[in-house]
Amino acid sequence: MFKPLDGLAPKPKVELDVDGTTVTVAQDRTLAIALLEAGYHATRRNHRGEPCAPYCLMGVCFECLVQVDGVDNVQSCQVRVRAGMKVCLPQGPRAVKER
């Protein structure tokens, strides 16, 4: 789906953990772009179980929400990847926590 432009120098790579799978991505990417390039075309499922994917890539639509290092609802288009980042792709609604 996505191909880097020809002629650009190869970028250093970093490894992420995406739902327990090690994924190698270019280190200068936002998390949303890195996931798309790695073949994760649906980065979460909504409350009806429908697949959702990053849409605007500029922090407006909130279609790119994922869990990063245990923090829910991170806009993946607004964070840069870093080595060792642990990413969980939401699969529908979360359970309501008791207080």
**Can you give the binding site for ligand FES, defined by CB under 6 A?**
32, 54-57, 59-64, 75, 77
Which residues, including other chains, have CB under 8 Å from residue 9's CB and lie 6 or more apart? none
- In the bound state, the residue with its beta carbon closest to ligand FES is 77
Tokens at 73, concatenated = 């609802």
- Measured from the CB of residue 7, what is the shortest distance to ligand FES in angstroms? 27
Nearer to ligand FES by Cβ, of 38 and 57: the residue is 57
Which residues, including other chains, have CB under 8 Å from residue 46's CB and lie 6 or more apart? 52, 92
Assign 78 to helix, strand or coil.
helix
Nearer to ligand FES by Cβ, of 77 and 87: the residue is 77
- Measured from the CB of residue 6, what is the shortest distance to ligand FES in angstroms? 26
